[in-house]
Amino acid sequence: MPKSALTGSRIREHRLMRGYKQADLARQIGISASYLNLIEHNRRRIGGKTLLALSEVLGIDPSTLSQGAERAVVTELQDAAATDTNTAVELDQIDDLVARFPGWAAKITAQHRRLRALEQTVGGLNDRLTHDPVLSEKMHEVLSTVSAIRSTASILVATPDLGTEWQARFYSNIDTESRRLAESSASMAAHLDHLSRRDTGSATPLEAVFAAFDARGHHLVELEQGGDPESLTAQMPELDSAEARSLALHYFGVYLADVQAMPLEVFEAAAHEVRFDPAALAVQFGVPLQAAFRRLASLQRSATIPDIGLVSCDASGALLVRKSPSGLALPWFGAGCPLWPLYAALNAPGVPIRRNIESEDGTQFTAMALAHPAGPLRFDRAPVYQSIMLLVAHDRNASGTPLSVGSSCRVCARDGCDARREPTVLTRGLNNGVLTSGGNPV
């Protein structure tokens, strides 16, 4: 709905607040009551002369009546509605809500932002506890030391007639392992304290860059409006190191180039026309397919724009870019699920792959992947490839049997997967009183 279409709703609200009857107001500005009624119900456009007369009688600035609802508020309300699919909402009346009750609209969007931020924080903490290489190493040291102490203590208890010399050795081992446990625990606590004291909690420059992207929904309004990447890096608290700011300039430069090649309003309209087909968009705008992937992932989710995720990796499988869609968490560290089309694309560089996939919670996506050269092709060296995968959420009525995938092996509970490279850390249940993890006693 165009912004001007809400002018009538605002006129009606201001008339009622001032206690005017429709017929009285119409008479004062020289139009019929029936015509004013059509204007107030957004069924007739309002000319500049009539608008000025109305604003003068109502005692308000003309821009207050003519200015449309903020796009950001409308978009956030649409996103909130799309997130909670269990509650039916009147999507066709969102614009009217923003126009008539701006305070309530702002309150709802603020709560939605807060909820989304909390969900991202919880997801990030869960991801970090699972994949942080430093934390994993410290945890392994602690568990190994505890196991050693327990084993030594069990021998002492089970063997009361142990010789004095052997007892001394075991006591010495317990003392040594206890010191090691104290050092490992202190080191792990220091690492956690270091993360908690940082604004972003980012362990690497790349993680800091995408923490900044995540905080903004991967939609950088400043760059959409032609802003300067260097100025933007200075405004982001997540970029708390020179290395992070330098890396951010690279990614912001790519984002700005995509904006210039595919302006937002034109691209969004075209995306709706081709039903978010990146191949059609790449042809229409004359850009590489991977650029169309990135631009689609930068669109703000709404009632008319599906949930879109993006992930890329280098030839080693290490993740470079990650925008997690709802229903499929993408790991911060290491590689993702070996079954992702992202990795299959590396086996056939330059050949686009499309596959329907299903996450563990039943969310289905159309996954489109492509491996492309990371830089210019040269005769004197072999090309270096990167792979990129776009994830577009769809309903379960899509044709064909989807491929079941996970996030990564460590947090995937699927049984009988031939691609599994390590046991899951998720609790599987109790077996004879022993808590198991990935089928192994813990």
For Cα atoms 241, 243, 245, give the angle at the middle one, nearest 5 degrees: 70
**How far apart, in whole angstroms, are the C-alpha atoms of residue 203 and residue 132?**
8
**How far apart, in whole angstroms, are the C-alpha atoms of residue 194 and residue 115?**
26
List the chain domain ranges.
Answer: 3-107, 133-197, 306-442
Report the pLDDT value the prediction gives residue 333, as an integer from 0 to 100: 61
DSSP string spanning 366-403? EEEEEEEESS---TTS---EEEEEEEEEE-TT-SSPPE
Instruction: Please enumerate in sequence order all residues whose Cβ is within 8 A of that of 317, keeping only pairs 6 or more positions apart, or say none.
Output: 335, 343
Single-letter amino acid, residue 136: S
CATH code for the domain defined by 3-107 = 1.10.260.40
Q: Per-residue pLDDT for the chain (442 aa), expressed as one digit of tens each?
A: 444 446 777 788 888 888 888 998 988 888 888 888 888 887 777 767 788 888 888 887 676 666 544 555 666 677 677 666 667 777 777 777 776 777 787 788 778 777 776 766 666 666 666 556 667 777 778 888 898 898 888 888 888 888 888 888 888 989 998 988 888 888 777 766 665 555 444 557 888 888 888 888 899 989 998 888 998 898 888 887 888 899 999 999 999 999 999 999 999 999 999 999 999 999 999 999 999 999 999 998 877 888 899 999 998 888 888 898 887 878 766 678 899 999 999 999 999 999 999 888 788 899 999 999 988 888 988 889 999 999 998 765 556 788 999 888 877 777 788 888 877 765 443 333 333 333 333 3
Q: How far is CA 291 from the centre of its chain?
A: 19
- Tokens 């102490």 correspond to 149
Contacts 24+ apart (CB under 8 A), 143-149: 145/177, 145/180, 145/181, 145/184, 146/181, 148/173, 148/177, 149/174, 149/177, 149/178, 149/181
For helices 242-261 and 289-297, what crossing angle results, to 10°? Answer: 110
In a 3-state reduction of DSSP, which class is residue 181? helix
**How far apart, in whole angstroms, are the C-alpha atoms of residue 367 and residue 359?**
11
Q: What's the pTM value of the predicted model, to 2 decimals?
A: 0.56
**How far apart, in whole angstroms, are the C-alpha atoms of residue 148 and residue 336?**
33
For Cα atoms 56, 59, 60, give the angle at the middle one, nearest 5 degrees: 95
**How far apart, in whole angstroms, are the C-alpha atoms of residue 82 and residue 103?**
21
Cross-strand bridge partners of residue 53:
none
For Cα atoms 382, 388, 390, give the angle at the middle one, nearest 5 degrees: 160
Q: Considering Cα of 115, then 118, then 119, then 120, what sign does the dihedral take?
A: positive
Report the pLDDT value the prediction gives residue 420, as an integer from 0 to 100: 85
Sheet holding 434-437, edge to edge: 427-431, 434-437, 440-441
